[in-house]
A and B are shown apart, each in its own frame.
With several copies, the nearest count.
Chain A
Amino acid sequence: MLALKRGTIADLLVLLAVWAGLVLLFGEFSTGFLSPATLGSVANRIPALLLVATGMTLLMVTGGIDLSVGSVLGFCGTVVGVTMVDWGWSLPVAIVASIAVGLALGATNGVVSVKLRLPSFIVTLGMLEIARGLAFLAAHSRTKYIGDAVEGIGTPIAGLVVSPAFLCAVVAVVLGQGLLSLTVLGRQLVAVGANIEAARISGIAVDRPRIAAHALLGALTGLAAVFNCSRLGSADPNAGVGFELSVIAAVVVGGTSLLGGRGSVAKSFLGVLIVATLEAGLVQMGASEPLKRVVTGIVIVVAVLADTWRRRE
């Protein structure tokens, strides 16, 4: 359906093998890892990461990057908190507000970097500071407890081990991959990332897909903020500090190029799974925080190396 080419399937298999290897390894060396409960808890932890990784993949395909996703996640979360707790909005309206705010910030990143011809790295570095500041201002630096009204999205569905948020994130991954490989916009994202001059000369209005990718990532980050709030039952203006690096690591482990022109949402999904499983497994084995970080760092480099080598052959 998604019209994947043979090479792509092989790529997916490599990542799947890495993931399966990790699962089996942790299953072997720790107790209770291979239980539905543990695997379900891994699944329910990653919806926000999945959504943002999907958007980041599409953006990185164009050759852009967004360092502000962590801050935007924090700010959109406070929007959910403030609108629901202080203003008494209902969840659906708050979700729309959060997505709209994310969209606006993402579009700002896109318009400023594309129209003023500044590297997106710098513009979003600025936004990283700005959005975090806004989050604290909006929340008066206070954590907001939202409670049941928002928790449903993040809690496992009765009978299933996974949450609505996870299912929703999986749908977003499928749609994102479809967007990339089946739509006109998707092909334009690739063209712009691979060779922007050629794309321009071919009659593509190159600014549009680039701005669209930024805006879409912003909107997905807005939705991710809702999922994050639902998992914690509260909105914390500190949420998402350092999140951008986790997202980029997962996307890059999934084989998306930092230089643009090449990337796959499906592979980013596996990248997220690998990173999340690694983290959960290390905790399960009782690894200390420092050790966890050392192992995570090594695995990131090795995973990218494996992917690159496969491609070089």
Chain B
Amino acid sequence: MILSARHLTKRFGAVTALADVSFDLRAGEIHALCGENGAGKSTLIKLLSGVHPFGSYQGELVLDGQEARFASIRDAQDAGIAVIYQELSCIDELSVAENLFLGRPPRRLGIFVDRPEAERRAAAALARFGVGLDPAAPMRSLGIGQKQLVEIVKALLRESRVLILDEPTAALAEHEVEVLVAILRDLRARGIGLIYISHRLEELARLADRVTVLRDGATVATLPIAAADPETLVRHMVGRDVRDLYPRRSTPLGTPLLEVRDLAVASGRDGLRLTDISFDLHAGEVLGVGGLMGAGRTELLAHLYGTWGDRISGRVQLDGRPLHAGGPAARLRAGLAFVTEDRRRYGLCLEQTVGFNLSLSSLGRLSHAGVLARGAEAARNREWYEKLGIRAAGLAAIVGRLSGGNQQKVVLGKALMTLPRVIMLDEPTRGIDVGAKMELYALVNALTAAGCAVLLVSSELPELIGLSDRILVLSRGRLTGVFEREQATPEALMRAALAAPLARPDAA
């Protein structure tokens, strides 16, 4: 037993984030943590890693049989506990090597950074984990997956004995997940204890040794992986049976709402980024968009929404009317809404209230001559708050303090309140729990039943296949396949996604 947590309780004001949680980690195991949004997973690892210092919680941590009292992150690091956080913690302004040694660089004469030594050691470390990156490269030139790998190498460089990963795969494409899985198995073999948080239950089966499920801040069960099939886990997490994860109810297709013909888009001086894209999206339809990371899926949605790229050729029609220049305001008026993949960055005013965010796209409709109709606004906010089942302390709660899934619902509510005909969802379930996902799926069904059309980007193949009526696959900015629901097997989608080989591999 390397690390044990005994009877941990942590409160934030009136909120009890953890209630009497006990948990232990063995050397050489991958211990998965599951739970719904807000179950307390992140809070638990923040206690384990010194973010919430000793004294701010009740209970005790035991490391190698000794009670550990971390006053700071640094203490925990010195004790051999490293964390890869949900939000990346790299410094874009520095080089890969500098990021790797950020906390404790090799020094010369006590005050100087020994750059050659740092780069030599960085190269060695990167090579050991099979990451082919230049240590002198600036961090900003890396893709998100590569940054994630640098983060992991950074944690391992400290010769940590405990490595905690908070949703490391949320931002990764399938093939990058493979690289990560290989690295984690290797670490396990070297006797390191790993704690692994993920909402992708399928991943756990091939990676984890044991699974602990949290619900409402309390431990519900710790299971060996053999006993932890997805249904069991989900039942523990939500406290009830979940039979069909993807309850897609197809609706008869209506008229084409969005028509895209021979679209080619360029961005700045980077050249052509999207070419030869044509498709129709019908009322009542869910059209999935698959592809590897960097395939240009986000770019496609962003272009349709008027926030990215210059159109070189092609035609886009919404409801029979051409979509020309004009930004989001014009798109929203025309009935096209967009939910971004990065909700904290692009979706929300985090310091503002739930109500403020919900009505933000609908202010025109909720005002007369520029003056807000505050009564109408409150009523409309309340309506969507309830329809979406947002769990928060009311409309006046600050959005930044909500858990991920509830934040996502607010972003969705903001888009839906504009009553769009077509809604584009980019990774709408990233980082949200099973329960919230189910609610979102139900919502998608309700939307199509009401005659809306949905354009859905998702990196989770089961979700994409389970939810879409048809699936487009993009590869390097080209359309390389269109699949009806029946033909859309994971193998077929992967083949199309890899159709045009990538010029430079995204990750080694």
Contacts and interface: CB of A to CB of B under 8 A. Distances in A.
B113 A183 contact: yes
A200 B327 contact: yes
Contacts of B356: 187, 190-191
Given A183-B370, A197-B345, A202 B102 contact: yes
A294 interface: no
Interface string A177-188: 000001111111
Interface in A244-276: 261-262
Interface of A: 3, 5, 182-188, 190-191, 193-195, 197-205, 261-262
A199 B359 CA distance: 12
B92 interface: yes
A6 to B, nearest CB: 9
27 contacts: A3-B374, A183-B371, A183-B372, A184-B105, A184-B113, A185-B370, A187-B356, A190-B352, A191-B94, A194-B349, A197-B89, A197-B345, A198-B347, A199-B91, A199-B102, A199-B360, A200-B73, A200-B307, A201-B85, A202-B103, A202-B328, A203-B327, A203-B332, A204-B103, A204-B329, A261-B91, A261-B352
A183 B360 CA distance: 12
A184 B349 contact: no
B73 A184 contact: no
Contact of A203 (B77, B85, B367, B371): B77
Where chain A touches its partner, the secondary structure class is: helix
B91 A190 contact: yes
A140 B372 CA distance: 48
Contact of A191 (B73, B85, B91, B104): B91
Contacts of A183: 111-113, 367, 370-372
Given A3-B115, A3-B374, A205-B329, A198 B91 contact: yes
A200 B347 CA distance: 10
Given A187-B98, A195-B348, A198-B347, A182 B91 contact: no
Given A187-B113, A197-B89, 15 more contacts: A182-B112, A182-B113, A182-B374, A183-B371, A184-B107, A184-B363, A190-B91, A191-B360, A195-B348, A197-B346, A202-B89, A202-B103, A202-B154, A203-B103, A203-B361
Contacts of A197: 87, 89, 345-346
Nearest to A197: B346
B112 A201 contact: no
A200 B302 CA distance: 12
A261 B488 CA distance: 46
Nearest to B377: A187
Nearest to B360: A202
B42 to A, nearest CB: 13
B74 A203 contact: yes
A308 to B, nearest CB: 14
B189 interface: no
B111 A195 contact: no
B307 A201 contact: yes
B329 A203 contact: yes
User: Which one of A195, A199, A262 has the greatest number of beta carbons of chain B within 10 Å?
Assistant: A195
Contacts of A202: 89, 99, 102-103, 154, 328, 360-361, 414
B89 A261 contact: no
Contacts of A193: 93
Contacts of B351: 194, 261-262
B244 to A, nearest CB: 33
B88 interface: yes
A178 B414 CA distance: 24
B90 interface: yes
